[in-house]
Amino acid sequence: MKRLVLVAVVLSCLSTGCAHGPLISEPAAKSLVERGALLVDVRTPEEYGSGHLIGARNIPLHELEFRKDELPRNTDIVLYCRSGSRSARARAMLRAAGFSRVHNLGAMSNWK
């Protein structure tokens, strides 16, 4: 059932053209993180190991469905990846699972 929901969310996102969804600006993302938001890198462990934003936690997109219970529901979450595509899918997945305070920074390079 969980996989079916994940597939539906991803297909919905792709079919409606929300490739990267609404992005949070760099200043807004930094402000949230400074106030305690969780910064989550949804890239692979190998990508994360080659460099990541300071303070980011690595939860790869392909593991997120099974690890979403590790995330707080009462705290803002800022997601990022390499290009913004996986973080958009992660945001859609978490929002479908009831997380309301999820923000997509998009590409890691958006954090300067």
Task: Enumerate the active-site residues.
Answer: 81
- Exposure of 69 by Cβ count < 10 A (0-12 exposed, 13-18 middle, 19+ buried)? exposed
Stated as kind and residue range, the H or E segment containing 8 is helix 2-15
- Residue 71 neighbours by CB distance under 10 Å: 17
Q: Are 56 and 40 in contact (CB under 8 A)?
A: yes
